[in-house]
Structure 1
Amino acid sequence: MYSDFSRHHIDDPGQIPFDAAAYSKFKFGDGDIARAFGQELGRHFVELHGDALLAEENIVFVPSPYHAIPTASNALSLFFRDEVNRFLFRHQRKSLLQSKIHRYKTYTVDYGNLDFEERMRLISSDTYHLDKHFLEGRMVLFIDDIKITGSHEQIIRQQLEREEIKGRFVFVYYAQLMNKAIPPNFENYLNYFAVKDRSDLVTIINEDNFIMNTRIIKYILKSDPVDLMAFIHALREERLPEMVNYAIGNNYHLMEDYQHNLMLITNHINYGN
């Protein structure tokens, strides 16, 4: 059985029902905003579906798919989990179980600029892995930040059906685009609402609350080499090794679009010497 839930509905691009600037900063790693959004989503979900949670013995929480580098929505998901767990604690119920959708393929194009068909063609070639035996027969909460075309949800549903996994599956979003007349590239309008240039990004990354994610790493690795060197010199020293470790873990060193800049960064920090 499938259902979905979203905290905010977007019907008019001129009347966004949440702080668009905050959302943009969240997508580029602002941890304080990820916490605020995740807690808001968790509180609202509990308010409307608390009885359903209490009716279940075992509930599984699943962030959006990734391999080695978490997505921005993963940070929001963890704060959502903590909020729901506090509700379960107050009612002396088991905390959420946690699983992961392993994603073994990545790409360098900007997903937020694609329409539904382009998104489906791109992610249909991904290799996803779900833990069938862990999910079977349980209530499963798939958490993501925004639903624009529903392509990721469709891929996950197809995977569940292909593997014949039975359960109660709820797709939970912070926001959902309801008006299909709004083009899908509206997603990038939101993503870059408050991040217009390198200085905006550096400010976010150098904050103590920053949480590394795949969007940040892709953005920097696809920068013009001149801009990249400016990034390198502007960032806090500890950010670069963290970025390199994540990039290698995601096999970005094997992707032509990223190889040159990744080597420049590793040479700068003398990584591995």
Structure 2
Amino acid sequence: MVNGIIIESQFALHHIHNTEQLGFDCRAYSKYKYGDATRAAEFGRALCDGFVKKYSDLLLTCNRQFMGISSPKGLVPPAAYYMFQSFLNELNLYLTANGRPAAVEHNIKRVSTMSADYSQLETDQRFAHLTKEGYSIDKKPLEGKFLLIIDDIRITGSHEKIIVQLLKSLSIENPRIFLYFAQLLNPEVAATFEHELNTCAVSCLDDIYSMLQDSHCNFAINTRLVKGILRADEKQLDAFLERIDIKLLIQLYEACLAANYHNIDAFSSNFQKIKTCFNEKQKKNPID
């Protein structure tokens, strides 16, 4: 309870009880997970609108400044970070319009990563893999803040559990709410449902290329997109690399390096293809 207001530990815009009735466009969500930043912005605004409707009293009376924290990320962000940015922008429009200080941003750093697609793993496997990644957070900026920890979907709660453990290990006891665009509440639904959701509109490189051709899609590099390309069938990858322009190829190549994917054995073959194509296109079409 804060200022006499009952605060729940989690807030989700959509509660999933039936996988056939999600309450949101599953195809739009799939495209969002693979780089459609236009969808990310829409989801972030919708999440903020729902949160403000429920917690307007808290937002307008809390004696702490709000701090938005996105899902853990490295130098290459996950799709959720683009949604988070939209959420925070929308929230700050509301706060400042009502004479409240703007919320500030902070990050949980992902120390390392692996090749696994967590959406294909069950609960125990997910937690084991995520624990190996390692997270860190700078404690000092959190002093006096109310934490809004934001992610796109809660399926097993593994990410949340690890973040709670991280905060506890650092004696961080700030009031906090975990916010999600959607949350699975039916325990009978397998955790691998998330993979079905992620790939219902984007399951191959041809689908990604179609997104690139969509004038309504503001395309943004993210970890799932890059990993998906690095896992792709080699023949599909060859065709994809030939079709994309040099600017996107540079983004892809630099993202592989920034995320250290070039040192992951499972990605080495496709990374070499990306590197070779990058070098060849640079010679033909140099960009300063």
Judge same fold: TM > 0.5, yes or no: yes
Number of equivalent positions: 273
AA aligned to 1:30 is D
Give the match for residue 63 of structure 1. 70
User: For the Cα contact (< 8 Å) 2:205–2:229, is it kept in 1?
Assistant: no
Do the aligned residues in 1 keep the contact of 2:33 with 2:224 (CA within 8 Å)? yes
Give yes or no for contact 1:240–1:269 (8 Å, CA) kept in 2.
yes
Among 243, 249, 261, the residue aligned to 1:240: 249
Question: 1:30 is matched with which residue?
Answer: 36
Task: Please tell me whether the aligned partners of residues 30 and 210 of structure 1 are also in contact (alpha carbons under 8 angstroms).
Answer: yes
Identity %: 35
Correspondence for 2:13 = 7
Cα separation, partners in 2 of 1:106 and 1:206, compared to 1, 3 Å: farther
Matched with 1:185 is 192
In 2, the alpha carbon distance for the partners of 1:99 and 1:197 equals 34
Structure 2 residue identity aligned to 1:150: G
Q: Which residue of 2 aligns with 1:142?
A: 149
Aligned to 2:54: 48
Q: Which residue identity does 1:78 align to in structure 2?
A: Q
Equivalent residue, structure 1, for 2:263 = 254
- Contact 1:206–1:235 at 8 Å: present in 2 too? no
Q: Distance in 1 between matches of 2:251 and 2:204?
A: 22
Deviates more, 1:3-12 or 1:137-146: 137-146
Cα distance per residue 1:42-61 (max 9 Å; x no partner):
11111111221222331110
Judge conservation of contact 2:205–2:237 (CA < 8 Å) in 1: no
Provide the rounded CA distance (Å) in 1 between the counterparts of 2:149 and 2:235.
40
- Return the offset for 1:165: 0.6
> In angstroms, what is the RMSD of aligned CA positions?
1.6
Q: Which amino acid aligns with 2:232?
A: S
Unaligned residue ranges in structure 1 (runs of 5+): none
Which ranges in structure 2 are unaligned for 5 or more consecutive residues? 2-7, 284-288
Q: Which runs of 4+ in 1 moved over 6 A?
A: none
Match of 1:152 in 2: 159
Q: Is the 8 A contact 1:69 1:246 kept in 2?
A: yes
Question: For 2:139 and 2:223, how far apart are their aligned partners in 1?
Answer: 26
Give the C-alpha shift of residue 105 in structure 1: 1.2
3-state SS in 2 of match to 1:158? helix
Aligned-partner residue type, residue 267 of structure 1: T
Distance in 2, Cα, partners of 1:95 & 1:27:
28
How far 1:133 moved relative to its partner? 1.4
User: Please, which moves more after superposition, 102-111 or 145-154?
Assistant: 102-111
Q: Matches of residues 218-237 of structure 1 in structure 2 within 5 Å?
A: 218-237=227-246
Distance 1:186 1:144 in 2: 17
SS of residue in 1 equivalent to 2:132: coil
| Cα distance in structure 1, aligned partners of 2:127 and 2:218 | 34
Contact preservation (8 Å) 2:30, 2:198: yes
Q: Match of 2:32, as an amino acid?
A: F
**How does the TM-score come out when normalised to structure 2?**
0.91
Residue number in structure 2 paired with 1:94: 101
**Letter of the 2:40 counterpart:** A
TM-score by length of 1: 0.95
Is the partner of 2:262 in helix, strand or coil?
helix
What does residue 196 of structure 1 align with?
203
Verify the 8 A CA contact 1:253 1:262 in the aligned structure 2. Answer: yes
Q: Does 1:115 align with 2:122?
A: yes
Q: 1:21 aligns with which of 27, 52, 62?
A: 27
Distance, in Å, in 1 between the alignment partners of 2:146 and 2:55 is 12
